[in-house]
Amino acid sequence: MNSAGRDLALFTLFKTLKNKKNLENMNDLVLKTLQVGDLTRSKSKYLLKWNYTTCAAPVVTNFGLGDGAGAKATGFTLGVLFPGEDGELYPSTMTGTGAFTTTGMEPQIEGTVIATDAGDTAVGWNVQLDGETTDNCGMQLSPGSGVSGTPANKFVVGTHSGHIDATFWTSDWTDYDCVAIGFRKVEALALGHNAIVATGAAGDGVYTDFAAFGAMTDTDMRTMTDLNNSGTSVATDVGIVPVDSDNMRVRINLSSAGVVTYQSVVNAEAGAGTLATPSGAAAFTFDDGDVLIPYIVTLKAGAVDVELLIKDIEIYRTPGIPSANG
C-alpha cells in the first residue's frame, strides 16, 4: 500500500466510524492499516542499487588512527553503506584479501562527479585499496553480511530469481588479475577464492558452490563455476577482452530454478548499453534449495598505482522478502 492509498484508507475509517463502539475499535484498525503499509514497503526487490552519477558517495568504516595509523591485517572488514537515489541505504560488507598498509587508499570517489557517464570517464568509487604498494591485494564485497543469508542478501533457489550487475573501469586491466561478480552459496568467508578466480583456470575455488563472471587473468573475460564442492572449477574464456580506460559492465542472471546466464557490454555508459550474451559459456545450475548471496571479487596484479573504479551496482531479487525495518 502506498502513502496515498494508506491516507485514503485512514480518511474512510474516520468518516464512517460514528458510534462509541466503533471508535473503541478504531485504534486497532488504524494500527493494522499502518502495519500493512509498512510490510508492503519492506518487500524491496533491490538489495543494492547505486550509481555514482545519481547517488551520494558510499559511507565506509573509518580506518582510524590506531593500529599503525590505519594499517590493517589480511581479512580486515569494512562496513559500507550505499545511498540510493531516494535516500534509502543499502548495508554491505567488504573484506580485504591482503594487508592494508599506511599508504593504502580507503575506498572513495575518484575524480569529479558528472551528470552523465561515458565509457572512458575516469570517475567512480575507487577500490584499489593498497594496490599501489602491495601485490595480490583485493576484496570481496557483498550486501548485508558476507557470511550469513538474511533478507538483506539471500537468494533461495526454487524461490527467487534476479541478477547482479556491475560496471567497472580501470586505465590498465593488466594491473588486475581479477575483477568479477558472482553468486555463491552461503558459507564461511574464503579469502583464497580471489586467487583462484584470478587464474581463470580449473582449480579448487574454495567455496563449495559458485558462479563468477568478469575479467580474469588480467587479459580477458571468463566464467568460472563449481557445484557441490567438486574441487575442480570449470573455467571458460568467452572471447571478450576488456579495454583499457573503458567501462566493463557484467551481469549474472539467476532463474528461480537456479539456472545461471551471463551478459556483458564494453565501453558503454555505466549501468547502460546493450547487454549481450557471450558465446561458449558453460551451462550451470545451482541445486534446488541452495541459499546464495551475490558478491564482487577483485585482486590486484603488481604494486602499481592504478585505480579500480566501481561506477554502478544493481542487485535485484524477486519476490521481495519482508523485513522488520523495510
d(CA 64, CA 71) in angstroms, rounded, equals 9
Q: Are 121 and 309 in contact (CB under 8 A)?
A: no
Same domain, 163 and 264: yes
Give the CATH number of the domain where residue 173 resides.
2.60.120
Q: In terms of Cα–Cα distance, which of 42, 84, 60, 56 is closest to 314? A: 84
* pLDDT score for 305: 87
- Does 238 fall in a domain? yes
Asked if 304 contacts 131 with a C-beta cutoff of 8 angstroms, the reply is yes
In this structure, are 171 and 209 located in the same domain?
Answer: yes
Band of pLDDT at residue 38, cut at 50, 70 and 90: very low
Domain-located, residue 295: yes
Backbone phi, psi, residue 173, to 5°:
-65, -25
- Reported pTM: 0.85
Note whether residue 305 is domain-resident.
yes
177 and 282 in a single domain? The answer is: yes
Omega of the bond leading into 107 within 30 degrees of 0 (cis): no
Amino acid at 82: F
Q: Are residues 30 and 61 in the same domain?
A: no
Poorest-pLDDT segment among 34-38, 202-206, 289-293, 308-312: 34-38
Say which residue, 227 or 304, is predicted with more confidence: 227
85 in Cβ contact with 55 (< 8 Å): yes
Does residue 157 register a pLDDT over 70? yes
- Which domain, by its residues, includes 250? 44-318
- Does the residue 178 lie in any domain? yes
Residue 150: pLDDT over 90: yes
149: which residues sit within 8 A by CB, 6+ positions away? 156, 186, 291, 292, 293
- Residues 320, 152: Cα–Cα separation, whole Å: 10
Same domain, 104 and 14: no
Q: Picking from 13-22, 45-54, 125-134, 306-315, which range would have the lowest pLDDT averaged per residue? A: 13-22
pLDDT, greater one: 308 or 71: 308
Answer yes or no: is 186 within a domain.
yes
One domain, residues 142 and 18? no
> Is the model's pLDDT at 228 over the cut of 90?
yes
Structural domain includes residue 325: no
If asked whether residues 12 and 156 sit together in one domain, one would say: no
